[in-house]
Amino acid sequence: MTGVIITGALSGLFFGLAAFPAGAAGDLPGPDLVLTNSASRDHIDLTGAWTYSIDPYRDGLKSFHGNGPGLGHRRYETTDVEAVTRENPTARYEYDMRREKIVTLPGSWINHAPELRHYDGLMWYAREFDAAPEGDERAFLRFGAANYTAHVWFNGEFVGRHDGGFTPFAFEVTDLLEDGENLLVVGVDAQRTDQTVPPPVTDWETYGGLTRPIRLVYTSETFIDEARTWLGRDGRIMAELALDGPGAAGQAVSVTIESLGLTLDGRTDRNGMWQGSIAAPDTLSLWSPDNPTLYDVTFAAGDDTLPERIGFRTIEVRGTDILLNGEPIYLRGISMHEEELGSDPGRIMTEPAIRALLSEIKDGLNGNFVRLAHYPHSELTTRLADEMGLLVWSEIPVYWLIDWNNDDTLAEARMMLAENMMRDMNRASIIIWSVANETPVGDARNSFLRKLIADVRQRDDTRLVSAALLTESTTDNGTMRSWIDDPLADDLDILAVNTYNGWYGGPDLDGVDDIVWEARHEKPMIFSEFGAGALAGFADEEARRKFSESFQADYYRATLAMSENIPFLKGMSPWILKDFRSPRRQHPVYQQGWNRKGLISETGQRKQAFHVLSDFYREMQTAGTTQD
Ligand code: GCU
């Protein structure tokens, strides 16, 4: 079962319906609440000390006969176990969240304690906090992400469940909020099943837990749930709002961009929604990696105002070109997992941690593009990409072997896609929504992915759609030919391929740059992945074995040389910026549980290949082959 239990009328269905087609909502799924830019609202930040309790057999959810959890296991109850057992010595409780171990959240439980290193079961977290609600304001619990399934109780009441490890969700708790002490208990289950997205087997660490900020957000009785503004390809600034609350219908609204001297205003319709547009002023400075101009925008409706920082740009394809603000661009990128630098990461993505990674791309590699793999990364990452000037590929983890025939899996993927898009609709940096990675061609898969692609197009026609595809190849007379033979290619704007010639197969390195890539579609292609493993510090200049820095550097030189022979190749995001944890990588000398295809080690040590790519991008930049 996916999604959440909450109030709120039609919001969530409206947002981003591609450029105002009336009534296109149809069966477009979406969360009931978006809470655009919730961090800017009045809130209690619940970052900090939480107690936790492991529950491998899920006794807190079900009894061993499959009924409701026994009295002694209900970790979500507000019972003060110590006080009760003091009162009644025969009382029996097999938990006490108040006297449990304490950890700092957000962050995965992977390094709460050594024994949790590979734990992917149910974990209970509890947090008490004081609140002083005022007047008729409303209150919402908003989670940045919980990997994978979250069961949430507030002051002993069940408020909802959310499935999906990488997107935000919210529950209204206005009627449950106490003036004084409150208790929030969350059961987070990291277990992956054939139904989940991603499925059980991936090439990255699970990082179970409450991995992103948790807030109690206050709003006025009627508030702006969704707000968006962007530059249309017709040169008009578009805007839309969706209100939530009793006063949503017929409400006066406005969007102001003071520094442009620009205000759009109007009145919401009976569903609390409004759309408007205005010609863009000549003074508008277009957002680009070289000129990441962001404007302060204020959305207003009744007594509610919502600030945002937004860049205006257009992105489109024409033939085999990718056009940013109407000019051809080459995506000088790299792929990245959501894992901070360090030898014992916990997916604790603070601003400094994210800046450290993004500046390695922008300043270290001379890059202008990052593929955030294979799932939606933190909202902070996409906001920093806006600010620092990095174009972004945003992806949902429809990865490898998904249960294509399972309607619940499709519903989960569609909801994840909607939550991701609606969280980041205002991010100028995001130019590509990706719906899949390395999925085997087949009827069930094709229709599953076409449903996702249709959802993207219905919700947002201002960005490009892609997926990381596999390639076909053949070798005749010693020359290898590669091409894309995927029916999905017809449905995508950009054809992205993962290619590992010289590492997972294909010719040896000295044959890689002779590979001929055949264009079978009049569309731009990018390399969404290529890469080779190397243990930092193991140079092996003589033998140049796989897993050595010298081999990795040779591999990059050969693959980059090959890339220069492909006229319709308009970008790349090699695999990968940093060595990352993967349970599939267990070579005792070279890997020790890390995928070593990073250009920097887990602690940030640059490998030889880092400089090969950095030089290649600098030459491209200085040659001005494309605008930035
Ligand atoms: C695949 C996959 C990645 C994986 C990489 C690798 O292409 O998309 O998730 O980590 O290859 O094998 O290193």
**62-88 pLDDT per residue, tens:** 999 999 999 899 999 999 999 999 999
**Which is nearest to 249 in space by CA: 222, 284, 283, 231?**
222
**Residues in CB range of 478: below 8 A, 6 or more apart:** 511
Is 315 in contact with 322 (CB distance < 8 Å)? yes
**Pair of tokens at residue 167:** 């997107």
Span 239-264, pLDDT tens digits = 999 999 999 999 999 999 999 999 99
Structure-token pair, residue 606: 């640059």
* Residue 382 and residue 429 in contact, taking contact as beta carbons nearer than 8 Å: yes
Domains of the chain: 4-30+236-313 (2.60.40), 39-219 (2.60.120.260), 317-623 (3.20.20.80)
Q: By alpha-carbon position, which residue is closest to atom 10 of ligand 1?
A: 203
Q: What three-state secondary structure class fits 489?
A: helix
- Compute, in angstroms, the gap from residue 203 CA to the centroid of ligand 1: 6
CA of 593 to the centre of ligand 1 (A): 14
Q: Is the pTM of this model over 0.75?
A: yes
Instruction: Give the distance (Å) from ligand 1 centre to CA of residue 499.
Output: 10
Q: What is the residue with the minimal CA distance to atom 6 of ligand 1?
A: 203
DSSP H helices in 175-252: none
Ligand 1 pocket at CB < 6 A: 203, 374, 437-438, 498, 529, 575, 595, 597
CA 315–ligand 1 middle distance (angstroms): 28
Query: What does the radius of gyration of the chain's CA atoms come to, in whole angstroms?
Result: 25
Enter the tokens of residue 402: 């998904």
Mean pLDDT, consecutive 10-residue segments, the chain of 628 residues?
38 44 64 95 97 97 93 94 96 96 98 95 98 93 98 98 98 97 98 96 97 98 98 96 98 98 97 97 98 98 97 98 98 98 98 98 98 98 98 98 97 98 98 98 98 98 97 91 96 98 92 94 98 98 97 98 98 98 98 98 98 98 69
Strand stretches in 457-579, DSSP E: 464-469, 472-476, 479-483, 495-498, 516-517, 525-529, 569-572
Note the pLDDT tens digit of each residue in 479-534.
899 999 999 999 999 999 999 999 999 888 999 999 999 999 999 999 999 999 99
**Ligand 1, pocket-test mutation among 202, 203, 335, most atoms within 8 A of CB:** 203
